[in-house]
Chain A
Amino acid sequence: AQSVTQPDIHITVSEGASLELRCNYSYGATPYLFWYVQSPGQGLQLLLKYFSGDTLVQGIKGFEAEFKRSQSSFNLRKPSVHWSDAAEYFCAVGASYGNKLVFGAGTILRVKS
């Protein structure tokens, strides 16, 4: 069965600094991977996804993520964080059968001015 680990529960960065959120997955076959963002009390918004092909994927709001098969990782990055990026971020991995997703526990991002 697939699983996802987000090692950092909370991360605090200064506005304008770069950001990297870590995601490690466990899945026997080629996974498909997502990053979602959630503002307090809201639903999840898709940031980006990886299904196949280029291992560096671009998403909305200036985010990107890199799929590294050898490290079973799919880390999310942004070169310059804005105060509006403060939210909770979830990594998810999917299997091809039944389109079931498994989510990580999430990383709460705080942005200080």
Chain B
Amino acid sequence: DGGITQSPKYLFRKEGQNVTLSCEQNLNHDAMYWYRQDPGQGLRLIYYSQIVNDFQKGDIAEGYSVSREKKESFPLTVTSAQKNPTAFYLCASSEGQGRETQYFGPGTRLLVL
């Protein structure tokens, strides 16, 4: 079955630690996205990538980093510079760069110890 997988489902971060969230898709989609979800705030775009080896900052990129070395993978690193990382993180993908539907993975919940 085609889809988007995110791992782990839950992730715990210690103070000063960098952690990496995994996102993989087998839909052969060109574009991938990372969103952060906080209660009552909807989803906010962190980073997005329209093609391999290229990505752009979204609305709340500070304290995060990404890479896009393979078409199917778009990992997100939450760095120690992100002072309030506790949130639900959602990865999405779409076929291309135009008016395309975005499909979402199941999410990763990040908690701070």
Binding site for B on A (CB under 8 A): 4, 9, 32, 34, 36, 41-46, 49, 51, 90, 92, 94, 96, 98-101, 103-106
Contacts and interface: CB of A to CB of B under 8 A. Distances in A.
Interface in B62-106: 88, 90, 92, 94, 96-106
B98 A106 contact: no
B99 A105 contact: no
Contact of B48 (A42, A98, A105): A98
B58 A99 contact: no
Nearest to B3: A43
27 contacts: A9-B40, A32-B99, A34-B102, A41-B107, A41-B109, A42-B106, A43-B4, A44-B43, A45-B104, A92-B43, A94-B99, A96-B98, A98-B50, A98-B97, A99-B48, A99-B50, A99-B96, A99-B98, A99-B99, A99-B102, A100-B45, A100-B48, A101-B45, A103-B43, A103-B44, A104-B42, A105-B42
A44 B42 contact: no
Contact of A105 (B41, B50, B106): B41
Contacts of B26: none
B110 interface: no
A42 B103 contact: no
B21 interface: no
B17 interface: no
Nearest to A43: B104
Given A105-B41, A105-B42, A106-B42, A99 B104 contact: no
Given A9-B40, A98-B56, A44 B98 contact: no
